[in-house]
Amino acid sequence: MSGNSSSFWQRFCFVASKYGKLCLGLGIVLIMTLASLGAPFLTTCPPEELHLDHILEAPSENFLLGTDRLGRDVFSRLLYGGRVSLWVGFVAVGISVSIGTVLGLVSGYFRGIIDELIMRFVDVMLCFPSFFLILAVIAFWEPDLTNIMLVIGLTSWMGVTRLVRAETLSLRERDFVASARLCGTPTRSILWRHILPNALGPVLISATLGVAGAILIESSLSFLGLGVQPPVASWGNMLMEGKNVLETAPWLSLYPGLAILCTVLGYNVLGESLRDLFDPRQKDRLF
């Protein structure tokens, strides 16, 4: 009957409008993650293998996305490069979220002079042109993966600190915190077991968006030659190599950029939809 089908359609539209964005974001993120984790099964040759008789070949059946100036398979490098980007994204965000959460909790719960000090430090860090700072530090210390993740993490915790502090400031006045304090719960346990779990939602959302930001910074660094060093593939340094042969081999510049675009898009869409679903106050506020 038509009534039945229209109600099905209405339900479908309702679900799609509510969860469509979430599914899209989650889908892109999952596909990207699975593709880079499953790289050994999806590719025919390792990313560093040279095919000197197939230099700068256009995409074909043998080489799905063509080859670069050393005859390496672009498809394989793309998938293995994805591992680097995702790894950097996750670890850097792990670092920044840990720092931000601890500082925000302490700042918001104890207030007073500690709060003032931490917040002024946040102000100072926010004033740095952070990309300049990251560039200088990476160039001075070795540009290896650990340093890149550390530096990105250490320069991007300020947003999370402010977020957690704001949540803590309002949560600490709530009755359940007061009753926990009355019961003699130690402060550490009030912070970890009563306040943190309630502040976790916004933190997770900002972490999702943070992964996207970290991936963008890593690829920018690699593009400038200060990130992941060749021969290890990363999307940024593939683009750097592609830049020099833009005229003769445009596919070298096309696909790594597309990969960055899709991944960052996926995490942004996921973060946004999580915010729409769990934090309606912040709805329609991108970043």
Partner 1 sequence: MMSHAPLLLRIFRKCLWILIVLWGITVISFLVIHLAPGSPTDMDVTLNPLAGEAARARLEALYGLDRSLFEQYMSWLDRLLHLDFGNSMSADARPVMTKILERLPLTVSMNVISLLLTLLIAIPCGILSACRQNTWPDHIITLLVFLGFAMPSFWLALLLMGFFGIDLHLLPLSGLTSMGYETFTPWEKFLDLARHLTLPILVYTIGSLAGMSRYMRSCMLDVLGQDYMLTARAKGLSGYTVIMRHGLRNALLPVITLLGLSVPGLIGGSVIIESIFALPGLGNLFYSAVMARDYTMIMGNLVLGSVLTLFGNILADICYGLADPRIRLRADAKTG
**Site residues, partner 1 (CB under 8 A):** 120-121, 123-133, 135-137, 139-141, 212, 216, 219-220, 223-224, 239, 242-243, 246-247, 250, 253-254, 256-257, 260-265, 268-269, 284-287
Cβ closer to partner 1: 141 or 278?
141
Cβ closer to partner 1: 80 or 223?
223
- The alpha carbon torsion through 207, 213, 215, 216 (nearest 10 deg) reads 170
Cβ closer to partner 1: 123 or 279?
123
Residue 234 beta carbon to partner 1: minimum distance, rounded to whole angstroms: 12
**Contact between residue 55 and residue 70 where contact means Cβ atoms under 8 Å apart:** yes
Q: Distances in Å between the alpha carbon of 203 and those of 102, 135, 271?
A: 12, 27, 11
Q: Tell me how far apart the alpha carbons of residues 65 and 275 are, in angstroms, rounded to a whole number.
A: 36
Structure tokens at 125: 């860090």
Residue 32 beta carbon to partner 1: minimum distance, rounded to whole angstroms: 12
Cβ closer to partner 1: 194 or 234?
234
Residue 115 beta carbon to partner 1: minimum distance, rounded to whole angstroms: 15
Helix (H, G, I), strand (E, B) or coil at 75: helix
Residue 104 beta carbon to partner 1: minimum distance, rounded to whole angstroms: 19
Cβ closer to partner 1: 34 or 136?
136
Backbone angles phi, psi at 72, to 5 degrees: -85, 150
User: How many CA within 13 A on the CB side of residue 147?
Assistant: 17
Residue 76 beta carbon to partner 1: minimum distance, rounded to whole angstroms: 20
